[in-house]
Amino acid sequence: MATEKPVTPTEEQLEILEFNFCKVNKYPDPTTLCLIAAETGLSEEQTLKWFKQRLAEWRKSEGLPSECGSVRD
């Protein structure tokens, strides 16, 4: 099974990801995730991984458990 190399998003990609996270949706559906991935040039898997990590950071900063699917913002 091939694994993807970790990719560090460029500053421009991070701006797109952060905009979508903060202004559009912290929980993108598969279609939105696909569109964000296409816009950034990252794979859907890389985009999903970024959103999961960013969501965990956001939840921690809000004093919430990093893994909890029952409470939505």
Q: Is the pLDDT of residue 36 over 70?
A: yes
CA dihedral 6, 60, 35, 19 (to 10 degrees): -110
CATH superfamily of 9-60: Homeodomain-like (1.10.10.60)
Mean pLDDT of the chain: 86
Whole-structure pTM over 0.85, yes or no?
no
Rounded CA-CA distance 73/68 in Å is 12
Coil, helix or strand for 6? coil
Phi-psi region of 63 (alpha: psi -120 to 50; beta: other; left: phi over 0): left
Q: Where are the domains of the chain?
A: 9-60
Q: pLDDT tens-digit profile of 40-72?
A: 999 999 999 999 999 999 988 888 876 665 545
- C-alpha distances (whole Å) from 67 to each of 26, 52, 59 are 14, 9, 8
